[in-house]
Amino acid sequence: MSRFEGLPDTRTGLVGHTDEGDEAWLIRSISQKLYRCPGCHGEIPIGADHVVVHYVHRIGGTEHHHWHRPCAEALVGGLRKVRKVPASDAQRGKLEARGRRPAGRRRR
Ligand SMILES: [Zn+2]
């Protein structure tokens, strides 16, 4: 767990897999509006340093949610094969493009 401490940050994102085989990409963000964290159901205030969790589903399609940093750390603990990635690889547009193909037809 400590190897990912402080991540994701401005330069480095994380990616892992859920038990269902979906990819979960994590990237650091600053909230532009009020969000509700799916981890604890609490509010993430405007301007808060937090984590966007962007799922790319095994069957195709994406969805993303905004998480508190400590809540996202707990989420990472439940993912498989977590690794660091350049934050530029975890941009929304790239992940949405990735989600247009099912997992078996994606580049790794
Ligand atoms: Zn939370």
Distance 85 CA to ligand 1 centre (A): 23
User: Is 3 a residue whose pLDDT tops 90?
Assistant: no
Tokens of 24: 């979960």
Cis peptide before 102 (omega within 30 of 0): no
Distances (CA, A) of 68 to 34, 37, 102: 12, 6, 29
Distance 108 CA to ligand 1 centre (A): 30
Distance 19 CA to ligand 1 centre (A): 21
Distance 30 CA to ligand 1 centre (A): 15
Please state, rounded to an integer, the average pLDDT across all residues of the chain: 94
Structure confidence by residue, pLDDT tens digits, 45-77 = 999 999 999 999 999 999 999 999 999 999 999
How confident is residue 2, by pLDDT bands cut at 50, 70 and 90?
low
Is the pTM above the cut of 0.85?
yes
Interatomic CA distance for residues 106 and 14, integer angstroms:
18
For 81, other C-beta atoms within 10 Å of its C-beta total 7
